[in-house]
Amino acid sequence: MTAKSIQVSKATPDDAARFAPLIAGLIRATGPVSYDYQFGGGGLLERMVAASWTVPDTLFAASAATLATDGDELLGLELGFAGPNFYVFKDNLVALAGDLIAQGVVSFEELKGLAERAEQASYLNAHVPEDVYYLHALSTPERHRGKGGGRQLLQAAITRAKADGYRELQLDVLADNPAVGFYQANGLRILTETRSPDLSRDHAFPSEYRMAVAL
């Protein structure tokens, strides 16, 4: 594998189907303590990501995904969209709840607990402005880290966001994530640091950074 052999492109329907089983793990890897707290155990994160992946304009939809691949290997995932869509897509995912409960995919109790914990965790995230591209997730499989897929995905997102007229690319990342150094090395700076005393004390949450790069 070389940098030249890595292909970066929007997820096609075939890509979405082929790599679907890997997506929840990549999402979780961006902030395990946060996702584990919000979604708990029992595979709820996997079920919710799988449900969202196939529905455009929801929080984890393949329609918002860019992939780095080398042949049949998935080297990385970038999931991002216009800033205001973070809230729209989150609401659209919530709107799937009734059907998911009716289909037996999730239970009412699971979603009630998720909603309560997600609200608590949401205070760690600064407001996402209207004129930015929001990078919701950038993740590479552990065995492919350091091979250039993540860097190419980030640079592609920056280039695309600039061409689309956004003021900045912004993202949220937990302060103890090694990706902080990666982002800084690629031109992003820390705008804010937020902390929840309750989540830090009871669930070992670190602070959360909002990072950005001007376009």
Q: Output the tens digit of pLDDT for each of the chain's 215 residues.
A: 556 789 999 999 999 999 999 999 999 999 999 999 999 989 999 999 999 999 999 999 999 999 999 989 999 999 999 999 999 999 999 999 999 999 999 999 999 999 999 999 999 999 999 999 999 999 999 999 988 999 999 999 999 999 999 999 999 999 999 999 999 999 999 999 999 999 999 999 999 999 999 99
The parent domain of residue 33 ranges over 3-214
Domain count across the chain: 1
Amino acid present at 144: H
Q: What is the CATH number of the domain that holds 74?
A: 3.40.630.30
145 close to 176: Cβ distance less than 8 angstroms: no
